[in-house]
Amino acid sequence: MLPAKPQQSHYDAIIVGSGVAGALVANQLGSAGKKVLILEAGPPAPTNLNEYMKRFYGAWTKVPESPYLPDLFADPTTLNVGRPTVLTLTARAWRDPKQSYLIQKGNLPFGSTYERVGGGTALHWLGTSLRLLPNDFQMGRIYQRFDNWPITYGDLEPWYCRAECELGVSAFSKDQSYHGLTFSKEYPMPGIPRSLVDVAVAKAINGMTVDGVALGDTSVVSTPAARNSQPYQSRRVCAGNTNCIPICPIQAKYDPTITLNAALSTGNVEICYQTVASRLETDANQQVSKIYFRQYDKITSAPLPEESRTATMYIIAANAIETPRLLLMSKSDRTPHGMANSSKQVGKNLMDHPYYVPWGLLPESTRVYPYRGPLSTSGIEDLRDGLFRKKRAAYRIEIGNEGWNFAIGGDPAITTVDFVNGLNISRANKDNEALFGAKLVERLNSIITRQIRLGFLIEQEPEERNCVDVSTDPKSVDHLGLPRPQITYDLSDYTKAGLLAAKKAADEIFDRLGAEQLTREPDPDEPAALDLSDNGKPVRLSYLGAGHIIGTYRMGTDRAKSVVNSDQRSWDHDNLYLIGSGVFPTSATGNPTLTIAALALRTADKIINHDLH
């Protein structure tokens, strides 16, 4: 199946990527009467989710990428549009360019993945829509750590309100008024109710003190989510399916296809799928003058000849790995270090939220009945900020509702198989019992109703050594012949101290719950394992990727130290905008999607009222 060709030779704006940022900007520009072309590397998302659901139900492992093409085990050299997957982060695969799309060169693996279809990672996001804290924008001034953002919380607050309406966020502002957060408008929908797991954790942490921060039963607060608590924007109300990641079967959760459809409905926006941007070109005035792309046949995967189009404005919204990849592929005599890279900061300061996941079994007297409701409805936000940030990373605590499903990779199926076959993969069947009939039902009822897991999202320190480049190995290319992303990644002592603090807090919370903690110590060859020290006592733990790809073309006030200004405009090229979480100077602890959306709306307003006025 051949992709559609662009219908014009010149546009008001060309946008690369149809994720949250790209779709929002396209919709705003199209609604203002501007002619917009979107270049989307992947195929279109189906209008009916049954195709994705069938793949998800049939997948032997329910990793975030399982509903979506291409195949989880495809050789990246055979793909026109490659993607990283959880299954390529194993000890056997993470450094193998025949298995891993990302060419990993660092001491530790970069663990976050993304899609390149239907809006990318936001297809399999949880829906968490947290605002960053006021202090997150001023880390240098307040804690003498990192750089300040060139904008403040006050600058972004009205755009947060707009973003919450665009995405459809359910929450109560009174629950979110912590650490200086203020709200000029109420959320568009009331919050999702708390789960029994949330109630149990709130009771347990009452009276805890962590690094000088006192926790109480009110420290567990509902989590803002782009998920319907009532009918909103033609989306249905959340039905409590506990598989928001990787897919909401009824589309109660926001995803970028919703905004993309609105953009296309303006009549001013067109999209070309199966279209991979390959390079940008500048003129003698350092204005971007042209974008080149390669299209491919969906059925045969045959690449088509390179083409180009022109625009007044160019907006790259391809995520914090694919955007620097495109910029670095755009080297020329006029841009010897790549596009927008006179500062040599493109690709630098790659960040994530290293994710620590402890899990365990509550006592017989505490049954919380997980697997009901969304994956997470509440969290502990008090530890997102505090004086401890001068010495160690902050974190937020996500409270899981899906038992051990995420923690062990597929429960309740794995625990059931354990007790049917006398195995102990779940670590709940220590005597390797093989049960059937009433005894099996009784045991599973006991265990599954008491499962609990937490998730700690750790602030990561920005470091230039953590970076995205393009591979120079001629064998590390995709099927279009384009170099694949090369990643160098590690964790600083500041970030590791946050991970260690998270483990200690988790241990105390499980102790207060009276839970048997079953968190595994990493295997000897686990690539994401860390050997830490707690006052001389060895501690071994591992982290996961949170799916939050941050940094690599950060914003700032000094063009020598940043890539874009506070409007997300390139310092080097006046008609080039780079949008998304790649502009974040710091990672903070809040999930990035709402901030991505707020910044995108702010930038779209700037483009409409100034650049294309």
Give the span between the Cα atoms of 138 and 151, in whole angstroms.
9
Residue 225 carries which side chain, given as an amino acid letter? A
State mean pLDDT over 357-367: 97
CA gap 528, 260 in Å, rounded: 36
pLDDT (tens digit per residue) in 402-449: 999 999 988 999 999 999 999 999 999 999 999 999 999 999 999 999
Collapsing DSSP to helix, strand or coil, 467 comes out as strand
Displacement of CA 111 from its chain's centroid (Å): 11
Q: In this structure, which amino acid lies at residue 350?
A: L
Residue carrying the six token digits 């390669």: 294
Report residue 22 CA to chain centroid gap: 15
Give the residue extent of every domain in the chain. 1-89+108-183+251-346+553-613, 355-459+492-542
- Determine contact, residues 186/169, Cβ cutoff 8 Å: no
How far is the C-alpha of 575 from the C-alpha of 145, rounded, in Å? 32
Question: Cβ of 219: how many Cβ atoms within 10 Å?
Answer: 21
Secondary structure element (H or E) that encloses residue 455, with its range: strand 451-458
Rounded CA separation 395/499 (Å): 8
300-341 pLDDT tens trace: 999 999 999 999 999 999 999 999 999 999 999 999 999 999
CA distance 413 to 1: 38
- Kindly report whether the global pTM for this prediction surpasses the value 0.85: yes
What's residue 121's pLDDT? 65
- Dihedral pair phi/psi, residue 343, rounded to 5°: -80, -10
Of 502, 253, 244, nearest in space to 373 by CA: 244
What's the pLDDT band for 119 if we cut at 50, 70, 90?
low
**Residue 31: φ, ψ to 5°:** -65, -25
**Inter-residue contact 579 to 316 (CB < 8 Å):** yes
Convert the pLDDT of each residue in 552-595 to its tens digit: 999 999 999 999 999 999 999 999 999 999 999 999 999 999 99
Beta bridge partners of 544: 355
- Provide the Cα torsion 293, 294, 297, 301; round to 10°: -140
Structure tokens at 584: 């974040």
Give rounded-to-5 percent helix, strand, coil for the chain: 25, 20, 55
- What CATH number should be reported for the domain whose range is 1-89+108-183+251-346+553-613? 3.50.50.60
Look at residue 593 and give its three-state secondary structure: helix
Question: Hey, is 403 helix, strand or coil?
Answer: coil
Provide the pLDDT for residue 500.
Answer: 98
| Cα 169-172-177 angle, rounded to 5 deg | 115
8 A C-beta contact, residue 603 and residue 579: yes
